[in-house]
Amino acid sequence: MQGKIAIEEHFAYDSPDADTARRLEHADSWAETARRLVDFHDLRLKDMDATGIEYAILSLNAPAVQMILEPKEAIEAARRYNDFLAEQVAKRPDRLGGFAALPMQDPEAAAAELTRCVKDLGFPGALVNGFTQKHVPDSVIYYDGPEYRPFWACVEALEVPFYMHPRTAVYERAQPYEGHPWLFSSAWGFAVETSLHVLRLIGSCLFDEYPRLQIVIGHLGERIPYDMWRLDHRIKTIPAGYPARKPMSAYLRANVHITTSGNFSDSTFRCAIAEMGIERILFALDYPMEVMADGANWFDNTPVLTEAERLKIGRTNTIRLFKLPLAA
């Protein structure tokens, strides 16, 4: 399919950060991945041309700002990263867009930076790399707390989506993975962290308070679609004070979109479509953590989709959600 739009495509500001390097240091493809993370207008665009991708929205590789312990430093770094991304996008606005990186250590500053990125830099939304750390390394802060409500009000008022991207667990809290490093990051741990965070947001009544808010998660839903029925069933069967007005599945189908990033499986795709619906799914690759041709070729040829459905997921759903200035 020509004209695809990809929306979980990463870059590194200077060189891949220490956490990314640690996760991939044993991978044979690490050198190539690192080279492509810092490339914007050569390898990336050539790969896009070769795979029928017209436009990509870029985001800072994880965990980036979310691992900076001091709020002032995080605020300064987010602004620096976003200005850098805006400069790169300005060189090829016909091919590239940008997601704002946000200093979630300070909810008020995060709202201000998102507002600047949307109104001044023209970014169509934000991508945040999961929970944030603050002051001490052994800290994990999720965004369902009351201190983040003004931030979410800002996101809803700006009418831009918020992409919740995975990150690895804090090492000091990763005891369940001891002796099993292959489970720690993207193979399993990413989905655990992200799915828990999204379900916490739902359970905090966030979408009752801000019903127009739209969250995006990758990897065909971080395994949530597979368990949507059971989530509703067990919460109803064993009451434990669940406070939201609707079942979790209702919010997932009204306030969450999922992408195909890094999960190129027909059977998983069928489940995601059955649970979420075609209108709630968007094309993404997870480049350069994934090879662009692998994901694009799978999407272009999967028998799961009709051609009309392929066009929706590959292009028109994304144009509508992010209000992109591209022809549908």
* Residues acting as catalytic residues: 286
Burial class (CB in 10 A: 0-12, 13-18, 19+), 54: middle
Q: Which long-range contacts (CB under 8 A, 24 or more apart) does 289-295 make?
A: 289/10, 289/33, 289/186, 289/262, 290/261, 290/262, 290/264, 292/47, 292/48, 292/50, 292/51, 292/53, 293/47, 293/50, 293/51, 294/264, 295/260, 295/261, 295/262, 295/264
Report the distance separating Cα 59 and Cα 101, nearest Å.
7
